[in-house]
A and B are shown apart, each in its own frame.
Chain A
Amino acid sequence: MSLLAVERLDVRHGQLQAVRDVSLAVREGETLALVGANGAGKTTLLRAIAGAHRPVGGRVLLDGVDVTQVPAHRRVAQGIALVPEGRRLFPGMTVEENLLVASANGRPGPWTIERVLEVFPMLRARFRAKAGSLSGGEQQATAIGRGLLTNPRVLLLDEVSLGLAPVAVERVYACLESLISAGATLVLVEQDLGRALRVATRVACMLEGRIVLEGAASGMTREQVTEAYFGLGRGALPKQAA
């Protein structure tokens, strides 16, 4: 059975339907990359899975249990964590406090602050600095660490490389890859197609709120994804890759 499943999800922002009839499933240990142009509905989909945005239709299932009506903070306790777009740290609190808040309110599990510092050693020097004063890369590391400290069963990562220097992106992805090889279950939104295809086991491409292409990352070419990404050849939608 899949660890996380989304069934026929519809999410609206007022008049705008941002996610239309989306279904997908993620198995334990899998990494699903969501790609798509700006405004395709990726962030909204992640927020709906995390419970930050209530869908108007469809279901979200965690380990077969319907959590669609469960508020965000209780979904954290059940094992869904979102590292939001723009990192959204608590800027007036220190790195340590940002991490402590998560470990105090999440699930019990293997992640401790010490382990987060092992994965992101650059945070050691900034441990007592206000989160608002960190560089983009340090903020992203703190945000991912904060997500991990809730000991999620599924970690949702929204645009972790956005606004970061290339060096910082490399560092963050090196850490993510070590998480993936350790068996973590991830859903990540990534603008960089090459990177998405490299780290993910599966890729889903969104266009105007729908998933227009989904399949194993290994069996998918850049051209296929690009075509779906821009909505070329729409006569044949929806497509299914290998």
Chain B
Amino acid sequence: MIWLNQIIQGVLLGGYYALIACGLSFMFGVMRIINLAHGDLAVLAAFLVWAIVDRSGMSPFLALAIVLPVMGALGWLLQRAMLERSLRAGVLVPLLTTFGLGIVIQNLLFEQFGADTRSLAPAIGDLAFDSWSIGSQIYVGHLAGLIFMVAVALLGGLQLLLARTPLGRAIRATAEDPDTAELVGIDARSVYAAAAAIAVMTVAIAGTFLGMRAAFAPYAGPAQLIFAFEAVVIGGLGSMWGTLLGGIVLGVAQNLGAQIAPNGFLIAGHTVFLVVLGGRLLRQRMRRAS
């Protein structure tokens, strides 16, 4: 029973990882940019929501609705002002610029909000701790369940957007071949900017839930990035459903690891990540050799 519980909690935790990883995966899939400021953007969004809630007392969900377009605009601006230019200098330059951006965001947040840890949990009342009970020993938190559902809806929504809408097709065409996309009338720059806006909006959603389920501080971003990155890599870069699966695999591995040994949580997660990565590299090498 305890193992079953750990698996269920792991799946729910995986939903959170998938939610955090969603924007990272989307941005990589479309623009081939690994955004190292991803975690910091999530923390930035959490702080923005927190600041609104703190000042007005409104629900964090309502505050998120205000922050969402702001973060979308930020994503658009980021693409036009920074990523587009750095991508022109090669695939590695965006790694450096987003790394720098992450540091800037962290220190601006520190300057503005100080070193205190904050949380949105007090602002959501019962949702932070209520749970459903399944049988007598398994409890599923309302918030964890909500996060999982939001992750599925968001990743599924993005998958649908990519597969079924004109914008999605334009995004995929541009991702595959930006030069040829221009030749069929697609404004590749605008498509990239739109994709960046969408990605950063998903980061805002993830950041808000980060603030609800736990605490955050100005320098909390990189830790979020690691789990997001692992989820994306395990699930296969650029695939939305893969990202969900990757998040779940990571969450389950961590929880099972913790059940085996108290310090097994992180070790098991990182081990799964390394095994999957190693397996991929090995398969690639074997395919190249044959």
Task: Give the interface of A toward B (CB within 8 A).
Answer: 50-52, 71-74, 76-77, 81-82, 84, 88-93, 97-98, 100-102, 104-106, 146-147, 150
Name the segment of B46-54, B111-119, B176-184, B246-254 touching the other chain: B176-184
What is the CB-to-nearest-CB distance from A135 to chain B, in angstroms, rounded to a whole number?
20
Decide if B268 is an interface residue (CB 8 Å cutoff).
no
Task: List the A side residues contacting B188 at CB < 8 Å.
Answer: 73
Asked whether A150 lies within 8 Å of B172 as measured between CB atoms, the reply is no
Task: List the B side residues contacting A72 at CB < 8 Å.
Answer: 182-183
Task: List the A side residues contacting B170 at CB < 8 Å.
Answer: 101, 104-105
Most chain B beta-carbon neighbours within 10 Å: one of A92, A93, A101, A146: A101
- Using a CB-CB cutoff of 8 Å, which residues 114-173 of chain B contact chain A? 166, 169-170, 172-173
Asked whether B184 lies within 8 Å of A146 as measured between CB atoms, the reply is yes
Number of chain B residues close to chain A: CB under 8 A: 17
Asked whether B176 lies within 8 Å of A82 as measured between CB atoms, the reply is no
Q: Which residue from chain B places its CB closest to the CB of A72 in the assembled complex?
A: B182
User: What mask results when residues 80 to 101 of chain B are scored 1 for a CB within 8 Å of chain A, else 0?
Assistant: 0000000000000000000000
Tell me which of A51, A73, A81, A93 contacts B169 (CB under 8 A).
Answer: A93
Asked whether A76 lies within 8 Å of B177 as measured between CB atoms, the reply is no
Asked whether B185 lies within 8 Å of A77 as measured between CB atoms, the reply is yes
Asked whether A88 lies within 8 Å of B185 as measured between CB atoms, the reply is no
Q: Which residue from chain B places its CB closest to the CB of A50 in the assembled complex?
A: B183
A76-B182, A147-B184 given; 10 more Cβ-contact pairs under 8 Å: A71-B182, A73-B181, A73-B186, A73-B187, A76-B184, A101-B186, A105-B184, A105-B185, A150-B184, A150-B185
Task: Give the interface of B toward A (CB within 8 A).
Answer: 166, 169-170, 172-173, 176-177, 179-188
Asked whether A90 lies within 8 Å of B187 as measured between CB atoms, the reply is no
19 A-B residue pairs with Cβ-Cβ distance under 8 Å, sorted by A, are A51-B182, A72-B182, A77-B185, A81-B183, A81-B184, A84-B183, A90-B172, A93-B172, A93-B176, A100-B166, A100-B169, A101-B169, A101-B173, A101-B181, A101-B184, A101-B186, A105-B170, A150-B184, A150-B185
**Given A73-B187, A100-B166, A104-B166, A90:B182 Cβ within 8 A:** no
Q: Which residue from chain A places its CB closest to the CB of B167 in the assembled complex?
A: A104
Q: Which 3 interchain pairs have the tightest Cβ spacing?
A: A105-B185, A76-B185, A72-B182
Asked whether B185 lies within 8 Å of A90 as measured between CB atoms, the reply is no
Task: List the A side residues contacting B186 at CB < 8 Å.
Answer: 73, 101, 105
Bound-state CA distance A83–B78 (Å) is 33
Most chain A beta-carbon neighbours within 10 Å: one of B169, B179, B181, B184: B184
**Given A97-B169, A100-B169, A105-B170, A88:B177 Cβ within 8 A:** yes
Task: List the B side residues contacting A92 at CB < 8 Å.
Answer: 172, 176
Task: List the A side residues contacting B182 at CB < 8 Å.
Answer: 51-52, 71-73, 76
What is the CB-to-nearest-CB distance from A198 to chain B, in angstroms, rounded to a whole number?
27
Bound-state CA distance A98–B184 (Å) is 9
Q: Which residue from chain B places its CB closest to the CB of A102 in the assembled complex?
A: B184
Task: List the B side residues contacting A77 at CB < 8 Å.
Answer: 185
Asked whether A52 lies within 8 Å of B185 as measured between CB atoms, the reply is no
Task: List the B side residues contacting A82 at CB < 8 Å.
Answer: 183
Most chain A beta-carbon neighbours within 10 Å: one of B169, B173, B179, B185: B185
Bound-state CA distance A151–B168 (Å) is 22
Q: Which residue from chain B places its CB closest to the CB of A82 in the assembled complex?
A: B183
What is the CB-to-nearest-CB distance from B63 to chain A, in angstroms, rounded to a whole number?
36
What is the CB-to-nearest-CB distance from B98 to chain A, in angstroms, rounded to a whole number?
26
Bound-state CA distance A136–B170 (Å) is 24
What is the CB-to-nearest-CB distance from B113 to chain A, in angstroms, rounded to a whole number?
42
Bound-state CA distance A55–B55 (Å) is 56
Bound-state CA distance A50–B185 (Å) is 11
What is the CB-to-nearest-CB distance from B236 to chain A, in angstroms, rounded to a whole number?
14
Q: Which residue from chain A places its CB closest to the CB of B172 in the assembled complex?
A: A93
Bound-state CA distance A205–B228 (Å) is 57
Task: List the B side residues contacting A104 at CB < 8 Å.
Answer: 166, 169-170
Tell me which of A76, A91, A93, A100 contacts B183 (CB under 8 A).
Answer: A76
What is the CB-to-nearest-CB distance from B64 to chain A, in angstroms, rounded to a whole number?
32
Bound-state CA distance A88–B177 (Å) is 8
Q: Which residue from chain A places its CB closest to the CB of B186 in the assembled complex?
A: A105
Task: List the A side residues contacting B176 at CB < 8 Å.
Answer: 90-93
Asked whether B185 lies within 8 Å of A73 as measured between CB atoms, the reply is yes
**Given A100-B166, A104-B166, A52:B173 Cβ within 8 A:** no
Q: Which residue from chain A places its CB closest to the CB of B176 in the assembled complex?
A: A90
Asked whether A106 lies within 8 Å of B172 as measured between CB atoms, the reply is no
Task: List the B side residues contacting A93 at CB < 8 Å.
Answer: 169, 172-173, 176
Bound-state CA distance A77–B182 (Å) is 11
Task: List the A side residues contacting B166 at CB < 8 Å.
Answer: 100, 104
